[in-house]
Structure 1
């Protein structure tokens, strides 16, 4: 019975080292992907929070605080959450720096076919000569919120969320949803219970 030769031992050691290096590289790559997923999830959540913040205005137009009215919603203006850098906790011990910015454009719902029926959302620059942004009320604000951060490799990453903010006060939104909150009665006859 003979043992392993020195060459066989070197080959086996090289194979184990190669496999180990591959596993370590794979583990590091999976860790980086998981970290990016967590950051994107948080950034997406923060973008949605800003969109919600912009829809919580108190007035349609106001001469006071621009955070409180619909007409003042513009690029990096409006809502209680300010634009620029901010820190957000990822856990009880870790906070990450993000950058929050948004772009807003007025939107008008107009008749583009000439049949007297409004049919298309357009920007002010797309209004026909028969319409004027000064004559029409702003019917919505298209908002694109961008949340950006720098990853551990120094690369800039970002997430964008887009939405329309309508000139509907939050206190009146409940009235618009009332028909959907009303339970539908279930008909039954006599003493029989529904489903029996």
Structure 2
């Protein structure tokens, strides 16, 4: 509630409910709103934040399970199509294979990676709705960490990063488009006025 004599228009009555930090102007005793948020210590608010965190972590777990399940199914199909005898359990993490279009094992790795990322983008849209981009990036970062741990070194191969990058882009674009088509009535648009 602004007063008529206030040129700034941000003077707030003392009895107005708020969760923002207040400070007094030096020249007068009028309370002015600050942009700093106070973290309330009420137990119900902490339970609310914990429930939000639980939802995010459960969705992330579902997305990780979906990602690796789809990855191994697509790998199995690609191994069968290319008639490679032995399915390597560490194939999703293999970045050391020599890049050659004549090498069927390398083709299986690249094709399965791209198909997996695209399909997972579509499946993530069903799980997390409009937050596909966020979960796609998070799952990819976790996949990079797991790949580094399994192979005992950080991947520095350019061909692997190019395949991974194009896969992430297809995951985000495909998933976001599907999420927009499915949930366009409930789609959350960011408010850019605060930036």
Same fold, TM-score > 0.5, yes or no: no
Compare CA radii of gyration and give the structure with the larger one: 1
Query: Hey, which of these two has a bigger chunk of strand by percent?
Result: 1
Query: Hey, which of these two has a bigger chunk of helix by percent?
Result: 2
TM-score using structure 1 length: 0.30
TM-score using structure 2 length: 0.30
